[in-house]
Structure 1
Amino acid sequence: MRNFTRPIVLVSRCLEFDNVRYDGKVVPCRIVRDLVPLVDFIKVCPEYEIGLGVPRDPIRIVKQKGDYKLIQPKTGEDVTEKMDTFTKDFMKDLADVDGFIFKSRSPTIGVRDIKVYSGAKASPVIEKGMGFFASEIFEKYHGYPIEEDDRLRNYHIRHHFLTQLYTFADFRAHCGSASIDKLEEFNEKNRFLFTYYDASVYGQMCELLKSCDSAISPEEVESTVFKSYASLLKQVLSKPGDVDSKVSVSRQIFSNFKHLVPESEHIFFEQLIENFSLNRITDDALIEVLRLYVLRFDEDNIDNYTLLYPYPEILRISGDEKRDKDYWDNGE
């Protein structure tokens, strides 16, 4: 199996860790629980950090005369300035980070569809946006894997998030030396993954590296090439490819071994591709067959197949949660 860099993740403290939610509870979160032995977590709860206490009266985002405020309706307290100060100080001290898992529906750390009210009390929702703290994170780390606990229950969102997370962590590890060779190594090992996600952007990444003079200094790599490549990395990983992209890349991988197998396997593989295209088999079934070919013919270079091994196996979730259910139990 391939080697993985240990990611660094900023996480809401109330997710599996501490009793800092407004009602004093810890929120169960499967992906955080799964990641505990495999990542380094940086924990934060903006509301707790500014001294609101636990338990506490809820706060809300209020928009009045074009200004956004954080108000505690029961007390009428305006904590906007405290939150802004904490957020700026926190971000100033935030070191390397590869991804973010935040609590959904939070007025401070929620990422999507956070309610904005017209007033502190008995007032309607007038729009939806991001939490105060999350919006600052999103602006600085736009393009990084940033998700909420609720959305990460979905298999496809979880898979995409973990793929992004481990790729960003690996990028950090490869590029710490500001070396063109390291960038080229990273770019090549992710060839199939990036081609699947967005072949056009991957082409731009390759062209960027080809244009580099071999005599370029480490300072120039860090100030220009590294930043340009990092920007393209965010673009290429912004959204997974479609079925046609997966089919195309799968054929590319198989073509490396086509001359090593009999004609009957060529036919089998094309039938496999057709079944996948018609949604008769899952993505996982196709991936497992491709993994077998890699293990048979190119095991020494397994690190170059990040599309097939995007994150540690232990993070894969059950393919069929009800597999062991006895559908034939007559109830006796």
Structure 2
Amino acid sequence: MQPTIKIGVSSCLLGEKVRFDGGHKHDRYITGTLGKFFTYVPVCPETECGLGIPREAMRLVGLADNPRLVTNKTGIDHTERMQTWVEKRLDALDRENLYGFIFKKDSPSSGLHRVRVYSDKGPPARTGRGIFAAAFTRRFPRIPVEEEGRLHDPGLRENFIERIFALRRWREALDEKRSLGGLVAFHTREKLLLMAHSQKHYRQMGRLVATGKTMAAARLYDDYETSLMEALHLKATVSKHTNVLMHILGYFKKQLSGDEKQEVLSVIDNYRSGHLPLIVPVTLLNHFVRKYRQPYLSDQTYLQPHPLELALRNHV
């Protein structure tokens, strides 16, 4: 699939021996399965800011929202060194046109969630975020981010990768036709996918598109992108998916035979009950889209929001 989708990633997850002990944390799902679709931009804050390999382990100290980066034993404070490097590295990453970033969990520089923050008041609190990860998410709030550990959760994995491909479609749509008509077409194609995440956002975005003529183009696209990524970040639950599947079924009122309709209803109910993964009803509905040549549904990204080879909907 072209063009290449660039994803930032903590270098150690690619097998690079850059950790404090000279080791790595090679993640074969990232380099193997995802590596077929993504081109990686590796980042190791500690080595890139000038710290050696091996090096003394570090930790976050102080306040969770503004911690210091301090070595464990000698107490050397590397906060300013790291922050100076971060600003320059973020400028460079801005030019990479990234579609996502996979961070190393628990890292004092790259951990995204629940990083330990130490203080003189009892045990460490899992309330922090690595210094680089925090700066990245502030600078690029719309770029999908995740930790490698959380990618083992099927729902979180599917959501993260779905957002990456949605951002890709959005950027391609802007490159192809930056017009109100192009925005309407994009919003129409994404309707069912948005409904699976947030009907509230879908309606808000519809109103935004409808009033697009009254807005400056830059503001319109900026607001729409913000809402798009906020909506898709929300969890697509079984209940939401079931509603969308039933909505799709409604397009075949005059075409499906009684047996075909009953087959679809049975499969959707088995999905709702947890007996079948999402891929089963989606595959069946895709079959009827092709069979009955339903042009509106054939354009809906919900029915294939990411490559089938990733098998993301086989487990949700």
Q: Judge same fold: TM > 0.5, yes or no.
A: yes
SS in 2 for 1:26: coil
Q: Distance in 1 between matches of 2:242 and 2:206?
A: 22
Normalization by structure 1: what TM-score?
0.85
C-alpha deviations, 1:39-67, integer Å up to 9, x for none?
23221100010111212221111117x96
SS in 2 for 1:36: helix
| Aligned residue in 1 for 2:101 | 100
Q: CA RMSD in A?
A: 2.6
In 2, Cα distance between equivalents of 1:137 and 1:192: 30
Deviations along 1:273-308, one digit per CA (max 9) or x if unpaired, are 222222232222222212212232338777623222
> 1:166 aligned to 2:165?
yes
1:206–1:126: structure 2 CA closer, same or farther, 3 Å change rule? closer
Bigger Cα Rg = 1
Opposite residue 109 of structure 2, the aligned amino acid is T
Q: Is 1:294 aligned to residue 289 of structure 2?
A: yes
For residues 205-216 of structure 1, the aligned pairs below 5 Å read 205-213=205-213
Q: Which residue of 1 aligns with 2:179?
A: 179
Tell me, yes or no, if the aligned pair for 1:15 and 1:103 is still in contact at 8 Å. yes
Distance 2:72 2:23 in 1: 21
Conservation of the 8 A alpha-carbon contact between 1:194 and 1:236: yes
Given the superposition, is the C-alpha separation of residues 147 and 47 from structure 1 closer, same or farther in structure 2, using an over 3 Å criterion? same
Deviations 1:88-138 (A, max 9, x none): 11112322221110001100000011111126xxx8414521001111112
Structure 1 stretches (4+) deviating beyond 3 angstroms?
Answer: 3-6, 298-303, 317-320
| Corresponding position of 1:257 | 252
TM-superposed CA distance for 1:227, in Å, is 1.0
Comparing 275-284 with 194-203, which one deviates more in the overlay?
Answer: 275-284
Q: Read off the aligned partner of 2:111 and give its amino acid letter.
A: G
1:198 aligns with 2:195: no
User: Kindly tell me: are residues 276 and 315 of structure 1, through their superposed partners in 2, closer, same or farther at Cα, counting changes over 3 Å?
Assistant: closer
Q: Whose helix proportion is higher, 1 or 2?
A: 2
Equivalent position amino acid for 1:40 in 2? T
Alignment of 1:301-312 (within 5 A): 304-312=299-307
CA contact (8 A) 2:98 2:143 kept: no
Unaligned runs of 5+ in 1: 321-332
Q: Deviations over 1:241-294 (max 9, x none)?
A: 322321221122222233222122112222222222222322222222122122
SS at match of 2:46: helix
SS in 2 for 1:289: helix
Q: 2:237 aligns with which of 232, 236, 242?
A: 242
Structure 1 window deviating more from structure 2 (133-142 vs 309-318): it is 309-318
What letter corresponds to residue 55 of structure 2 in structure 1?
A: R
Deviations 1:65-103 (A, max 9, x none): x96211112333211111000111111232222111000
Q: Does 1:153 align with 2:152?
A: yes
- CA, structure 1 residues 186+317, in 2 after alignment: closer, same or farther (shift >3 Å)? closer
Q: 2:78 — aligned with what? A: 79
Residue 221 in structure 1 maps to residue 217 in structure 2 = yes
- Mapped to 1, the partners of 2:297 and 2:53 lie a distance apart of 48
Amino acid at match of 1:110: G
Other-structure match for 1:323: none
TM-score (norm 2): 0.89
**Structure 2 residues without counterparts, runs of 5 or longer:** none
- Which residue of the partner structure matches residue 227 of structure 2? 232
Distance between the aligned counterparts of 2:2 and 2:202, measured in 1? Answer: 22
Say whether the 8 Å CA contact 1:6–1:169 is kept in structure 2. Answer: no
In structure 2, distance between residues paired with 1:111 and 1:149: 10
**One of 275, 285, 308 as aligned partner of 2:280:** 285
**1:178 Cα shift?**
3.2
Letter in 1 for 2:114: D
CA distance in 1, matches of 2:13, 2:101: 12
For residue 25 of structure 1, the aligned residue among 23, 26, 36 is 23
